[in-house]
């Protein structure tokens, strides 16, 4: 796939994962509710062994922003691919929840993450 090629060429790849995933997803808790979460980031990490870095940007004043990044995430595969994917996605959803709690008024939530 093109995404794997990008990583093999040592480029940086940024992916947004907070949208409702119709397919190719795992159901992972998000703010205490089950939510379809895209598997792409976790699968790319497991296949290519490319570390994952979670980043956030919070506005601190007029035209002032604080950008921060997590330490690199390097998940060691256990042999259970589905559980490895779920572990990575749980961690990413928890990091996103923490970011949203810091400045909930700045989170653009123009979609329905939870579907009945």
Alpha helices by DSSP H, listed for 1-116, are: 2-8, 40-48, 81-102
pLDDT of residue 65: 98
Domain presence at residue 115: no
pLDDT of residue 63: 97
Domain presence at residue 25: yes
Domain coverage including residue 73: 2-106
Domain presence at residue 112: no
pLDDT of residue 18: 87
Q: What is the DSSP letter of 9?
A: T
Write down the pTM of the prediction.
Answer: 0.91
Domain presence at residue 113: no
Q: Alpha-carbon distance 97 to 94, whole Å?
A: 5
Domain presence at residue 36: yes
pLDDT of residue 87: 98
State both tokens at 1.
């796939």
Domain presence at residue 37: yes
- Give how many domains the chain has, as a whole number: 1
Please answer whether residues 57 and 65 qualify as being in contact, where contact means their C-beta atoms are separated by less than 8 angstroms: yes
pLDDT of residue 102: 96
Provide block-wise average pLDDT over 10 residues at a time, the chain (116 residues).
Answer: 93 89 89 93 96 97 97 98 98 97 90 68
Domain presence at residue 10: yes
Domain presence at residue 75: yes
Q: Alpha-carbon distance 54 to 70, whole Å?
A: 5
């Amino acid at each position: 796939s093109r995404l794997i090629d990008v990583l093999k060429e040592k480029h940086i790849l940024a992916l947004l994962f907070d949208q409702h995933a119709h397919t190719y997803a795992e159901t992972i808790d998000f703010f205490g509710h089950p939510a379809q979460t895209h598997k792409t980031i976790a699968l790319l990490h497991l296949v290519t062994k490319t570390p994952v870095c979670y980043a956030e940007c919070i506005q601190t004043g007029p035209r002032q922003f604080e950008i921060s990044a997590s330490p690199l995430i390097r998940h060691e595969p256990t042999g259970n691919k589905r559980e490895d994917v779920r572990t990575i996605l749980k961690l990413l959803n928890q990091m996103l929840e923490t970011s949203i709690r810091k400045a909930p008024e700045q989170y653009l939530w123009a979609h329905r993450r939870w579907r009945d």
